Amino acid sequence: MSGIIKSTSESYSAEKKSELDTLDPVLEVNENVTSEVFDRPYEEGDFEEIPSKIFGSKDVTEPLTIESLNNAIYELGVINLCWPELSEPVFETRTCFPKSYYTNNTKERLLLAYAENFRRQFHFHYKSRKPLLLQAPNECGLQKMVCTTIRPTKLCYAGTSTWQGLASLVSEYFDYEPLSKPMLHPERIMSPYTAIIRRSGNPFELAHVLVSWLIGAGYDAYVVVGCAKRDVCMAIRYRTLCPDVPDETEVIEEPPPPEEEPRYRLVPLPDLTSKYCQEMDRKEAERIQGELDKIENQRLKTIANLEKPPDDAIDGWRTHAWILLLPGFKGIEEPMFIEPSEGNGYPISAEQYQYVDSVYNNENYYVNLQTSEGGVGSLNYDLSELSCWEHLLAGEPFYRRQLVGIDLADKRSAVESEKHLDVPASWVEKLDISADDFEQRYPGCHKVIHYKKVLLEKFSPYSERDGIIKRLKIFDDYALTISLITYEWYKNRVDKMETVRIDHLKREVREIFGIGRKDHLLKHVYSIDAPPTSVVGVRTMEFNYYARLDHLTKLVCTPLTFDEYYTDRDDRLESRIITYTEGTKAEPKRQVNVIIETYSRNPNIPAKDDVWKKIFRTQENTIELLYHYAYNFVTNDARSYIKPNLAETGGKILFYPDKTSGYIADPCSKPPRPLNIYYALCDNMEWEHHSKKHIRDRETDINTYLRQRHKELTEPELYVALFDTERNEAAKKGWKEQEAHKAEVTEREKEAEIDPLAPYLARMFGSGHGSGSPLTIKEATLVREQCINDFKAKQLARQMLVQERFDKLNSEYKAKRLWYLANQFILTPEKESAYFALSAELAFKVHTVEVRLTRHRDLSGPRFKVLEDYLDRHPLLREYVRMRHYYRLKG
């Protein structure tokens, strides 16, 4: 032990020793458990770390006692080769354990003895290194080899075939428990099955669960034992960026370059700009940008210093476990790390991991012999390299073996090469989880994670009344008090709402819907200050135009405008833009001022007759028509009208040439006829009336939708699948009724008994007879004889029918056979093959009928005997049976 203390003390300076001697318990926080919002990034909760006594150089000089000796044995990782006898182990509330949990079989004991010998040799050669984690007591208090704690299991749920899905499942399913002694290996490592039941575990237990599922999914995965930074070991995430923040960067798609360069191109104008002025402007811009970059870098440096975690006195000594994925399987091209507590993947050069001590899986244990001066990313992760990794067991997995000089054809030499100790089968139960546990994966159906200026909340499906499954809040300060943006994700809602984005600065809400709404709404963006049930407000609605009869694509509403946009309409209407006048005291309701309708080009009619834009100025009582541009024309035709006063004309539309004017782009074309101009005025006045009515109807529809939408938000309803019998009350009720009806029918069939005498009793006495007094001898004789005679007649008729079918088929088969023997030399191959097919079919039918006839003859006697026995036991024939028995004895 003195050598251990000496070797350990050499790694610490005198100043470090004094710091450790006066070190108070470090306060940490577990970020996976719901806790209070932090005011500052350095403020933490209460979690007490127990410093080690050997590696912390603290209390080393205390008297040698049983307690101190046991502590030294624990810190050195000594394997106890005397196994206690456990009969009824108890762990928390669990009492029933399989036998493999509290006993070690012969092979497991041999492996532990082998591991203890390996540990002693390794400690002899590497005295300055931390003890190896080769074993740990399980929940029953029995030491188990860490390799046997891994139980490869394949999950059969959606997303569990990739490492991303499995890592996310582990990070969400479990609560993280930091090590109470961060410099040492854990005091116990419970089985992954127990961890799944408890839904919590330390880093080693979570790593065992994840590596078991990864190996079951086909990955080459290993548990890494090493050292990591304090934030990783304590699952502190409020100093890291949230990976779930949506990327809203607009992707601008640049048009592809032309495949062929034009043959002719314009000669560009000469550049007359002064090169000297350009150079001076460039230098001035670089100087200004340099000053701005310097200020920005200084600001970022100040922020980084403020966000820097506090000094860790045991930095580089914190024990941690994570996952290593090696290439070669499931598309993994290079080694990578996975953090089970976060569910994220990292490259091997990740800064949060400081040292790799060993790696292991369910096949072998490998000790790292390399130095980590260049970080863990500089290590060689080729486990077959003996100069870099020391193997506990000599055997290698089949996919990694390099058999040189071994004749595999010789069974004896092949068997001799395989004589080595391997890891026994895992003692852990199969790591399956139910479908309900997979769906309700968060402990307590709710999980809160604090990131840097971000609060992430996750919910299980159907756990919340509104169907929310994830909420992400972005704040402007570390105390999480000034909200910037809130994202919400929903599932299983009747209104098909999927995501909501709330911008607290712009006071804007964006709702995204799935396909399937009755109004075919896809996106709804509105201001928080807008009236919830009135169209008079700032809002934008986008629709699935293909499913709508009017092909409406988008609606844009403001207090004084109302814009409609269409796609692929038969009348080629593209947009309708309405402008309103502000309300007054006399008329508080807004009135339509201008209506602008835009149409796409119709190639079937000339441009001078194809209307491009209609402008109805209702307050000025005018109509303006703009036509499409013709080919090679820089102007377009136009026509404007001053509508006649229908009140003065008695409702008739009169034409006044002085109240219309137009412009014709083509000077060679003929002017339009006055009659055509009059017809156009009549059509557009009617169309204006139609547009006004359409606007009023559209506003009514939008107001109705907003009221319905307000009800959907205040009284949300969730959709339940038809086959989800746990949540679908109607389906559950129908299923229970069906089961009850089936059970009732089954019970009724059991109670009902077929009485062969029922038809004869009904014929003689009427229906309902059978529960009265026994029949007289004469009546019983008559009923019994009728029943027996009918049974014999029925059996004989059935035999005759089967015999007749047998004779007919047999005669047909013989006739076909004689026909073939007479004509076999003149038959064509087609007719011969047809004969053989028909002959085989007839032979099969003959054999079937023959078997049926034989079976009928064999069963006729037993069936008649069963009928006689039944009649002899019948309660109504009791007097007849008694007298028959009397005369039989007398005779």
**CB neighbours of residue 219 within 10 Å:** 22
Q: Is 522 helix (H, G, I), strand (E, B) or coil?
A: strand
Q: How many CA atoms lie within 13 A of 49 on its CB side?
A: 27
Q: In whole angstroms, how far apart are CA 882 and each of 43, 774, 866, 874, 890?
A: 101, 12, 19, 12, 12
pLDDT score at 103:
87
DSSP output for 272-284? -S-HHHHHHHHHH
Give the 3-state secondary structure of 600-659. Answer: CCCCCCCHHHCEEEEEEECCCCEEEEEECCCCCCCCCCEEEEECCCHHHHCCCCCCCHHH
Are the C-beta atoms of 688 and 620 separated by less than 8 Å? no
Nearest to 451 by CA among 28, 27, 29, 31: 31
pLDDT score at 32:
37
Dihedral pair phi/psi, residue 611, rounded to 5°: -75, 130
What b/e readout covers 802-833, taking b as 16+ CB neighbours within 10 angstroms? Answer: beebbeebbeebeeeeeebeeeeeeeeeeeee
Say whether pTM exceeds 0.85.
no
pLDDT score at 648:
66
Q: How far apart are CA 755 and CA 77, in angstroms?
A: 80
pLDDT score at 51:
55
Q: How far apart are CA 886 and CA 868, in angstroms?
A: 18
Cβ-Cβ contacts under 8 Å for 364 (sequence gap 6 or more): 147, 391, 392, 393, 395, 396, 397, 423
Q: How far apart are CA 144 and CA 98, in angstroms?
A: 14
Chain-centre distance for alpha carbon 44: 33
Angle between helices 163-173 and 203-216 (to 10 degrees): 150
**Beta-ladder partners of 48:** 27
For the chain, the 3-state helix, strand and coil shares in percent, each to the nearest 5, are 40, 20, 45
Q: How far apart are CA 202 and CA 506, in angstroms?
A: 43
Angle between helices 777-823 and 758-765 (to 10 degrees): 130
Nearest to 72 by CA among 85, 44, 53: 53
**Beta-ladder partners of 347:** 336
| Parts of the chain with a pLDDT under 50 | 1-46, 54-59, 415
Q: End-to-end CA distance of the chain: give it in Å, rounded.
A: 109
Residue 184 has which token pair? 């040492």
